[in-house]
Chain A
Amino acid sequence: MKNALIIFLFTSVVTLFYYYVGQMVPQNKVYPPEVVDVTGSLSIEQMVEAGQKIVTGKCMSCHGIQPRFPALQGVGGIAGTRKEGTTDVEYLAESLYDPDAFIVPTFAKGMTAATKPPLSLNDREILTVIAYLQSLGGTPSVSMDTKLKYQGASGSASASAPAAGKADEKKEPLSGEALVTNFGCAACHSMTTADRLVGPSLYDVGKKLSKAAIYEAIMDPDATIAEGFFPGMMGPTLLGAGFYEKVSSGELKVMVDYLFSLKGGA
């Protein structure tokens, strides 16, 4: 029995040591790429903004600081000169739809077409990406009406609803306000006044909490309790209402962004 206890203690100590090692390295959560709305007509500024979100979420692991593929800094300025006989838009479109057609010297093949998984961009999203890339050292010249020779081709996400389509039918994204309404948050939280209901008012929650804290307040409501309120209420309520089963990660992010934007009417 004594031996068993010592062995158990030893096992616990060694395991705790490795747990400690795990805490010593940088701690980063990685969230799924933001769902970017590219529906309707977009101005060039909106296209650049949308393209930037897509590139930041999906491209920078390979085109980042120590890139496996060419870095994107200044690409808008040199895209028109990289390949003889092609304009900057044509070059950028080709590098997204058919990346192996031209390989920048000293780099190797390997990039997946942007229309294929895991990027799975549709034609409209690709136009916004081109607009953003043009803005890096150049002037965006594409619009949402620009026609590219690749558009609608087999494999293009918009034309064929990529492989992801079988399992993930895309639906029109809802705004943060609509999501908060649909999930019935207002039943317990006032969104428009500082009045206290069952839970604290969210009227000016963006002034009081960071995005991370709002996220935590939704996902783990008892982690931090607002003064004057009790633990054990919101978690079981959300659980009981099936909130955690219904909300997607993308929707959660939109909701957090919306709640963060509530600054008390200021």
Chain B
Amino acid sequence: MKATANFRRFLILASSLASLLLISLLFLGVENVFAEPEKEVAYRAFPWIGSRVAIWIVAQLHLYFAAFVLAVPIFALIIEFIGYKTGEKKYDKLAYDFTKLLSVSFSLTATFGAILTFMLIILYPKFTDYFVSVFQPTFFIYVALFFFEAFFLYSYYYGWGKFHPLLHLGLGLGLNVVGTIIMFIANGWVTFMTSPAGLDEQGAVVSVWKAVSNYTWMPINVHRIIANVAFGGSIAAAYGAFKFLGAKTDEERAHYDWMGYIGNFIAICAFLPLPFAGYWLGKEIYAYSQNLGMTLMGGAFSWLFIIQAVLIGNLFLAANFYLWLGMGRIPGAERFRWVIKYILIVIMVCFAVWATPISIGAISSPDEQRQMGGAAHPILRFLGVMSAKNTAVNLLILSTYLSFLLYRRGNKIPTVSWAKTGNALQFGIFVVAVAIVMFIGIYGYFVPTALRIKMSVPQVITVLVTMVAVTIIDVFMFRGAKITSGIQWGKMPKIAQYALFFTAITFTWLMGLMGYVRSGLRQHYHVYGVMQDTSPDAFTPTLGFAAGVVSVTVLLFFLLVAFVFWLASLTSKKDYGEPAGSNTLSERYH
């Protein structure tokens, strides 16, 4: 017994000493990292996780919140405007509910932006110095605009109901304009690192404007606006789902069900054209440098796009699943239920095609390769090329659009005399579109690569024209339609709310992954072809490692989002000490 007690004491002492030693070493490490003021160094190491991972996490968190802060005012303004034009208060309330999420998110965006800046200065001093030499004038504009952004954002939020509606809408417009310009400037910095321009042979800046408006600048601008709206919509929908699950009354449930629906609607509407913006970006990357394009699609990152396919396939599934569940709250929509299984089949097949790799040499055994007769499967390899994948994604988009269309007409019966013709016309357009998309997809196998790549354009145009044409017919056909029943907002199963969370998490993870490839594409360059990364982190990590960092970042983001949601929900809580039944602070002021 005594021996055991002594051993225990020894263990405690030893572990205490070890802890003390460890803490001392850690402090020593940190101190040494940050204590070299007199020497010019290119890099400093961030303790424990390394500089690259530290910058990666902070930059991604900054981007998540920045995307949200830029996206929410876009649709809040539109919804507020609809409320103003229709006079329906529910739109105004919805827009305000979205805006409530903004102020804390804005603070977090600025906080992470500041941390990112300091970390760049400390950890990558040589790169930062070079970057400042190129973009110096833009920093002043950026900071000035940031002040205006804060002015517009806080006056838009705190001025809700305090000004004339048009003035308030003007503040919202100002917020959007300034926010977009800020993003465009930051995009100039980021895209310069991938496709630098405006430099002389020595790497010194010749034209700041050319440096900003480089090859990939405008595609990224467009891609980010659309993606931000999709991402922001999904997070706002998740807020609706969060509030729905905690709702105490049918009225609250109805409101937050509607909020979730609108958020998801915004997310999916923005999501549908996103692949096209992605094509454009990819095309510009190839146009700038074939080497970069090859690295992106056929080199180190080719398998990343299989992960992307899983994410996007899941997004399509979740979006459709939510819509199909939503049809349950529309009496009359049952008549379309039979179509759902066919849409599901199309989605699953397209999903599988999109996630098929062309070569499985890296994940198959020598015996499997012998049986296949090579590194690629004898049949499935034909599904792993762009012709098949482009076809799959276009059909996915059309299928999801069809789900929307059915949802939209769930409780409506057209009364126009040409309804049958209109339906037949819409059906015909769909059939022709599918035929064109499939034909181009198959034809692509028989033409040279350069032509095959160009053929994705008519595929995209076909789908876009189809969606626009069918929507126009639908709008006119259902004008003055007979409404068979009202939508029973709030009568949604809980699982539908989890579909919204799933969508938000998947969007966030996807954004992290694509952020990684956009940045990682430069490989061992800070500025592609201009400034090499000579740090020990210059290698490109494995996709598994990247997936780990993205996952950690996503979890951190959602922990912070939970904080934002909690703060936003405080405004609907009764004041401390107030008896039940009294107005909340927000009710008193609005």
Asked if A22 and B543 sit within 8 Å, CB to CB, the answer is: yes
A residues 230-256 near B (Cβ < 8 Å) are 232, 235-236, 239-242, 244-250, 252
Q: How far is the CA of A162 from the CA of B362 in the complex (A)?
A: 36
Smallest CB–CB gap between B412 and chain A, Å? Answer: 34
> B366 at the A/B interface (Cβ < 8 Å)?
no
Asked if A110 and B555 sit within 8 Å, CB to CB, the answer is: no
Q: Which residues of B contact A112 (CB under 8 A)?
A: 289-291
> A228 at the A/B interface (Cβ < 8 Å)?
no
Q: How far is the CA of A117 from the CA of B203 in the complex (A)?
A: 11
Q: How far is the CA of A236 from the CA of B502 in the complex (A)?
A: 42
Q: Which residues of A contact B533 (CB under 8 A)?
A: 32, 249
Asked if A166 and B555 sit within 8 Å, CB to CB, the answer is: no
A residues 204-250 near B (Cβ < 8 Å) are 219, 232, 235-236, 239-242, 244-250
A22-B45 contact in complex given A15-B505, A16-B551, C-beta closer than 8 Å: no
> A148 at the A/B interface (Cβ < 8 Å)?
no
Asked if A28 and B558 sit within 8 Å, CB to CB, the answer is: no
A19-B547 contact in complex given A166-B530, A239-B29, C-beta closer than 8 Å: yes
> B527 at the A/B interface (Cβ < 8 Å)?
yes
Asked if A23 and B547 sit within 8 Å, CB to CB, the answer is: yes
> A102 at the A/B interface (Cβ < 8 Å)?
no
Q: Which residues of B contact A116 (CB under 8 A)?
A: 529
Smallest CB–CB gap between B422 and chain A, Å? Answer: 41
Smallest CB–CB gap between B397 and chain A, Å? Answer: 22
Q: Which residues of A contact B540 (CB under 8 A)?
A: 29-31
A30-B41 contact in complex given A62-B291, A163-B202, A219-B536, C-beta closer than 8 Å: no
Q: Which residues of B contact A236 (CB under 8 A)?
A: 25-26, 28-29
The residue in chain B whose Cβ has the minimal distance to the Cβ of A60 is B299
Q: Which residues of B contact A166 (CB under 8 A)?
A: 130, 202-204, 530-531
A250-B534 contact in complex given A10-B498, A25-B306, A239-B47, C-beta closer than 8 Å: yes
Instruction: Pick from A1-9, A41-49, A174-182, A195-203 the stretch touching chain B.
Output: A1-9
15 A-B residue pairings within 8 Å (CB atoms):
A7-B562, A12-B555, A22-B307, A25-B307, A32-B538, A108-B450, A110-B290, A112-B289, A119-B291, A163-B199, A163-B200, A163-B202, A168-B534, A242-B32, A245-B44
> A165 at the A/B interface (Cβ < 8 Å)?
yes
> B353 at the A/B interface (Cβ < 8 Å)?
no
Smallest CB–CB gap between B500 and chain A, Å? Answer: 11
A164-B536 contact in complex given A26-B303, A32-B524, A242-B32, C-beta closer than 8 Å: no
Asked if A248 and B535 sit within 8 Å, CB to CB, the answer is: yes
> B539 at the A/B interface (Cβ < 8 Å)?
yes
> B269 at the A/B interface (Cβ < 8 Å)?
no
Q: Which residues of B contact A262 (CB under 8 A)?
A: none
The residue in chain A whose Cβ has the minimal distance to the Cβ of B527 is A167
The residue in chain A whose Cβ has the minimal distance to the Cβ of B300 is A30
A232-B201 contact in complex given A26-B303, A168-B532, C-beta closer than 8 Å: no
A residues 121-174 near B (Cβ < 8 Å) are 154-155, 160-168
Q: How far is the CA of A250 from the CA of B533 in the complex (A)?
A: 10
Of the residues B448, B545, B562, contact of A106 by C-beta under 8 Å? B448
Interface string of B324-363 (1 = CB under 8 A from A): 0000000000000000000000000000000000000011
Asked if A248 and B534 sit within 8 Å, CB to CB, the answer is: yes
Asked if B33 and A239 sit within 8 Å, CB to CB, the answer is: yes
> A71 at the A/B interface (Cβ < 8 Å)?
no
Q: Which residues of A contact B201 (CB under 8 A)?
A: 154-155, 160, 162-163
Asked if B534 and A22 sit within 8 Å, CB to CB, the answer is: no
Asked if B551 and A19 sit within 8 Å, CB to CB, the answer is: yes
Of the residues A160, A161, A164, A244, contact of B532 by C-beta under 8 Å? A164
> A66 at the A/B interface (Cβ < 8 Å)?
yes
Q: Which residues of A contact B291 (CB under 8 A)?
A: 61-62, 112, 118-119
Asked if A15 and B509 sit within 8 Å, CB to CB, the answer is: yes
The residue in chain B whose Cβ has the minimal distance to the Cβ of A111 is B290
Q: Which residues of B contact A19 (CB under 8 A)?
A: 547-548, 550-551
Asked if B509 and A247 sit within 8 Å, CB to CB, the answer is: no
> A39 at the A/B interface (Cβ < 8 Å)?
no
Considering the complex of A and B, which 5 residue pairs feature the smallest CB-CB distances, nearest first? A22-B547, A117-B529, A166-B203, A167-B531, A32-B524
> B506 at the A/B interface (Cβ < 8 Å)?
yes
> A192 at the A/B interface (Cβ < 8 Å)?
no
Interface string of B262-293 (1 = CB under 8 A from A): 00000000000000000000000010011110
Asked if A117 and B530 sit within 8 Å, CB to CB, the answer is: yes
> B36 at the A/B interface (Cβ < 8 Å)?
yes
Q: How far is the CA of A11 from the CA of B450 in the complex (A)?
A: 42
> B554 at the A/B interface (Cβ < 8 Å)?
yes
Knowing that A108-B450, A167-B126, A249-B538 are A-B contacts, what are 16 other residue pairs whose CB atoms are under 8 Å apart, sorted by A's residue number?
Answer: A3-B246, A7-B242, A10-B501, A15-B505, A25-B307, A25-B544, A28-B362, A30-B540, A61-B295, A68-B449, A118-B525, A165-B203, A232-B21, A245-B44, A247-B536, A249-B535
> A21 at the A/B interface (Cβ < 8 Å)?
yes
> B458 at the A/B interface (Cβ < 8 Å)?
no
> B417 at the A/B interface (Cβ < 8 Å)?
no
Asked if A232 and B448 sit within 8 Å, CB to CB, the answer is: no
Q: Which residues of B contact A30 (CB under 8 A)?
A: 299-300, 523, 539-540
Q: How far is the CA of A106 from the CA of B448 in the complex (A)?
A: 8
Q: How far is the CA of A194 from the CA of B33 in the complex (A)?
A: 33
Of the residues A7, A22, A168, A247, contact of B531 by C-beta under 8 Å? A168
> B546 at the A/B interface (Cβ < 8 Å)?
yes
B residues 99-121 near A (Cβ < 8 Å) are none
Q: Which residues of A contact B14 (CB under 8 A)?
A: none
Interface string of A32-57 (1 = CB under 8 A from B): 11000000000000000000000000
Smallest CB–CB gap between B469 and chain A, Å? Answer: 35
A161-B523 contact in complex given A22-B307, A25-B363, A117-B530, C-beta closer than 8 Å: no
Smallest CB–CB gap between A253 and chain B, Å? Answer: 10
Q: Which residues of B contact A154 (CB under 8 A)?
A: 201
Q: Which residues of A contact B558 (CB under 8 A)?
A: 8, 11
Smallest CB–CB gap between A61 and chain B, Å? Answer: 5
Asked if A240 and B307 sit within 8 Å, CB to CB, the answer is: no
Most buried by B among A3, A4, A8, A25: A25
The residue in chain A whose Cβ has the minimal distance to the Cβ of B358 is A66
Q: How far is the CA of A33 from the CA of B542 in the complex (A)?
A: 17
Q: How far is the CA of A36 from the CA of B553 in the complex (A)?
A: 38
Q: How far is the CA of A3 from the CA of B569 in the complex (A)?
A: 14
Smallest CB–CB gap between A244 and chain B, Å? Answer: 4
Smallest CB–CB gap between A194 and chain B, Å? Answer: 28
Q: Which residues of A contact B300 (CB under 8 A)?
A: 28, 30
Asked if B536 and A252 sit within 8 Å, CB to CB, the answer is: yes
